[in-house]
Structure formats: structure tokens, C-alpha cells
A and B are shown apart, each in its own frame.
Chain A
Amino acid sequence: MPYTSVPLFWRLKKPKYNLTGTKCLKCKNVYFPPRNLCPECRRGGDVQEFQFSGSGKIISYTIIRTPPEGFEHYIPYAIAIIRLDEGTNMTGQVVSDIEKIKTGKRVVPVFRKMHEDGSDGLIHYGLKFEVVD
């Protein structure tokens, strides 16, 4: 499965572990997941690293009950579209009790296992989110 590639995950460590994205200094847009080319300014942009705080709020969510390969052990799990405070959206799992998850709730990141590449392969870690009480 392509998304368990070792080099791919290693290359994406900073955004996946630390929520490090990018910002175009020209138009001031922030990007997470990071973009190296600003879609607004394109080649005229000035894109630099930008650190997101991780706080945000849920703008929609679902509970996955039929998983893709590799996620069987984790069902059911919640996935939300989260609006990060700095002004951009991302997709992330929410680990709180399902009853606590509602559109509009604020969330903070927690470090968790994302996925295991079988019993011999790598364990992929990353950030999930937790509802703030």
C-alpha cells in the first residue's frame, strides 16, 4: 500500500509529528498540510515554514465503521474536518468519546499511533485530536 512507504512518512515527519506547515509571506495565507507552492501567488509567492498551534474546532465529522486496510484494529473511529485557529482546514482523527464529538467543539492535538504496517513493518505515528472540555 503506497501510503505506508518509509521514505514518504519520513519526509512528512515535521507536519505529521509537529503540525509544521507553511505560510506565504506575500499573501499571508497559511497552509496545512504544507504547500511548497502558494496556490494564490504561484511562482510569485514566498513560502516559508510556519508552526501551527494545533488548536482548532470541528466543522464536520463522521464515524468510520468500515475501515480501509490497516485500520481494522481501530474501528470505530471518528474523523473530523478541523478548522485550525490560524485559518486553514485539515482532516484528523478525534480520539474523544463519540458522544463528546460535536460540530463546533474545540480540539487540541495528541500524539498517537496512526497505523501499523503489519506485524513486521513500521509503526506510523502522528497527531490525532481530543475535544477540549
Chain B
Amino acid sequence: MRVAVVGIGCTKLGEHWMKSLRDLSTEAGALALKDAGIDGRDIESLYIGNMSAGRFIGQEHLGALAVDQAGLNPIPATRCESACASGALAFRKAYLSILSGEYEVVMAGGAEKMTDIKGSGAISTLMGAGDQEWESSVGLTFVGLYALIAKAYMDKYRLSREELSLVPIKNHMHGLSNPYAQFNYEITVDDVLKSPLIADPLRLLDCSPITDGAAAVILASEKVAKKFKNPVWILGSGQASDTLALHNRKSMTEIQATQTAARKAYEKANVKPEDVDIAEVHDCFSIAEILAYEDLGFSEKGKGKELLLSKDVMIGGKIPVNTDGGLKMGHPVGATGIKQIVEVVKQLRGEALNQVKNARIGLTHNIGGSGASCLVHVLGRD
């Protein structure tokens, strides 16, 4: 039995001073229903990805909140959390719930409201994705975690500071005319190098922003999906775990959870990395995207930068990555995994802004923390 995505919706990503978490989740859900052309009452269960509403806005019990605000009581609602991979986790849970035979039509959403607390509070809250007792407690930040990875990678594989800058430059370019993106301007190497250091060697423009936003998708069993005009099939789903703390990993320069999750997803989908036409990867920081190219099998270990230098990861290239600008254009943590699905589905339907010609196989890649969890999904059209 196969499962398809039959509806998608995403709010604009940015600082939504006038919208609360409940406004964002309701908006995204409504957009997905509109896109699918179905009524809210057709949804049998909701999975909502959110990393840290408890610390950002003091709110737990998000399943109940989202369903209540949508007027969809009494359907079951489940909050899924895997740090920054919460969205993809919600997607996988929704997928498995249909595969199990329990449901036919399910919504998977993600939402995060990050701007109701001060910046320093957001920084501390995001470190909840790391090891609280042994990483956060010594003053490490999320940027710091990836900076440690970046330093190790740049030393080992001779990646230069200029080459690293190609990632945000590409993603700004891809997001330039995206009306949902948090930013709509191009940047140069000079801009990146002049932006303030956050945690050496990572600078402000290497980092995804603090964002409010929500996204939602509707999944349906094969029987139901066939009634829709443009279902996009979930070909494979992979999920893997690794040590919580970065210092406990076997390697500082690769994310094994990505490799494991990707292998599982490719296996289920019966595709190879070179079959992928478009990928939305987890560029929480510039270095993470380069690691993603390698861990997902798009390039050899240590050679990720070649895809940037050859422009293969740009629109028009062999394997366009982050065609909507990726996390650099907005990273409402728990929503990101769903947002990535939205872009891939658009691409496979042929409705994307930066459309990849003949996109048939798409991939999403969502990481939790510094690589302690990862989910990879492979989607395709008939």
C-alpha cells in the first residue's frame, strides 16, 4: 500500500509580531485543506511537529491546542519532537499511521513561534537540542556546535572560508523571489565575510534565522489518494539516531544519522542518490549543507564543495538543492521538516517557483540538533 501527499500549505516565514503559534498553525492547516480541496472534517488524525513551545511560549499540549483552534475536536492529535527534525518526524508518524491501516487521511504539520522571547532566550532554548548537562551547561550554543564541526571539517578537507560562503550565497539567490522567504536579497562573498562572527568560524550570514512559521501537509492512503489530481507518492522514509552530544560522535566531519536514515529511505524507495532530481536539505548553518551533500551520497566524502563550485546544486544544475532557499530563508524549527515537504511536492507537481525541469524524484533531509537524529524522505510522482 502506498501513501501520497495530496495537500500542502505554508505560512510566510518571518517575524510575525501579530501572529501567535495558534494563528500560524491554524493558517497553515487551512491552506493545506484548501490546496487539497477537502474539508477539515475529513482529517482523521493530526501530527504536529514542534521543538520547544514550552520554553518559547510556555505552552505544552500542542496537539490539543492545534486541533482545538482548527475546530477539529475530537480527532486524535500528537505532538512530535526531535529538536529541529520535529517536522519530518511528524511527517513520518503520519505516514506510518496510514501504512498501519489505522487511518486513511491524516494531517502532518509543524509550527514554531520563536520571537516572543528575547534573542538570548532563543539561543538558550535552541541548545535544548544539545546535551543540557554537558554542552549547554558549559556555555555552548547551537552555532557553536556547528562551528566545532566546521573547524574540524575545514581543517581536514581544506575547505576555505570563501568556499563555505557559497552555500548561503546560493540559498539567498534561490530565495530571491520567493514570497514566503524571510529574506529577499542577494549576498556576496564579501557580505558573508563582513558579517559579524557568531562562533568562529561561522558568521551571521552562515546561520539560518530565528523565524516564526508553520506548514502543513495532508497524507492519504493509496485508495483515497487516487481520487486527487496530483498526488505525490512517499517512496521511502528513513529515520536514525546518534549520540546526543557532539563530543560522543565517532566523527566530527560527517553526520552518521543522515547516512543511516538516507540509506533506509533510498532502500525503501529503491532509488540511488544519483536518481534524485531535487533535494531540500538541512542547511541550519552553511557547513551543514556541505555535510549533507556528502552524507546523502550526492558527493564523495570531503568533496562536497565541488558541487557548489560546479554549480551542480543550483537551479539548472545536476542536483538542485534547496530550490526555495532552504533553512537560510527561514527556520521555524518544528515546521521546517514539513516546509521541506511542501517545496518538494511543489517541484514534483510542476508548480514550484524555481521549477526544476522534469523533477520526478525529490528528497527531504531534516536533522535534529548537531546530528543526534535525522529523517530522510524520498518522494516521487507517477
In this complex, the interface size class of chain A, counting residues with CB under 8 Å from chain B, is 35 or more
- Contact A91:B199 (CB < 8 A) given known A3-B137, A68-B120, A103-B155: no
Whole-angstrom distance from the CB of A122 to the nearest CB of chain B? 13
Whole-angstrom distance from the CB of B93 to the nearest CB of chain A? 26
Q: Chain A at the B interface: mostly helix, strand, loop or mixed? A: strand
Report which of B134, B200, B246, B248 forms a contact with A63, defined as CB distance below 8 A.
Answer: B200
- Contact A60:B151 (CB < 8 A) given known A68-B141, A79-B144: yes
B136 touches A3 (CB 8 A): yes
- Contact A62:B123 (CB < 8 A) given known A90-B247, A114-B138: no
Q: What is the number of residues of chain B that contact chain A, defined by CB distance less than 8 Å? A: 37
B152 touches A60 (CB 8 A): yes
Report which of B124, B138, B151, B252 forms a contact with A92, defined as CB distance below 8 A.
Answer: B138
Report which of A2, A61, A69, A128 forms a contact with B151, defined as CB distance below 8 A.
Answer: A61
Is B121's CB within 8 Å of the partner chain A?
Answer: yes
Is B217's CB within 8 Å of the partner chain A?
Answer: no
Chain A residues in 8 Å Cβ range of B147? 62
Whole-angstrom distance from the CB of A6 to the nearest CB of chain B? 14
Chain A residues in 8 Å Cβ range of B139? 64, 67-68, 71, 74, 77, 79, 93, 114-115
Query: Bound state CA distance, A132 and B234, in angstroms?
Result: 55
Enumerate the 9 nearest inter-chain pairs by beta-carbon distance, A residue then B residue, closest first.
A62-B147, A89-B247, A68-B124, A60-B152, A63-B200, A33-B134, A71-B139, A69-B124, A62-B199
The interface of chain A, by Cβ under 8 A from chain B, is: 1-3, 8, 12, 33, 59-72, 74, 77, 79-82, 89-93, 103, 114-115, 124, 126, 128
28 contacting pairs across A/B (C-beta < 8 A): A1-B124, A3-B136, A59-B152, A59-B252, A61-B151, A62-B147, A62-B150, A62-B201, A62-B202, A63-B197, A64-B139, A64-B143, A65-B196, A65-B197, A65-B198, A66-B141, A67-B120, A67-B139, A68-B136, A72-B120, A79-B138, A79-B140, A89-B247, A91-B135, A91-B245, A103-B151, A115-B137, A115-B139
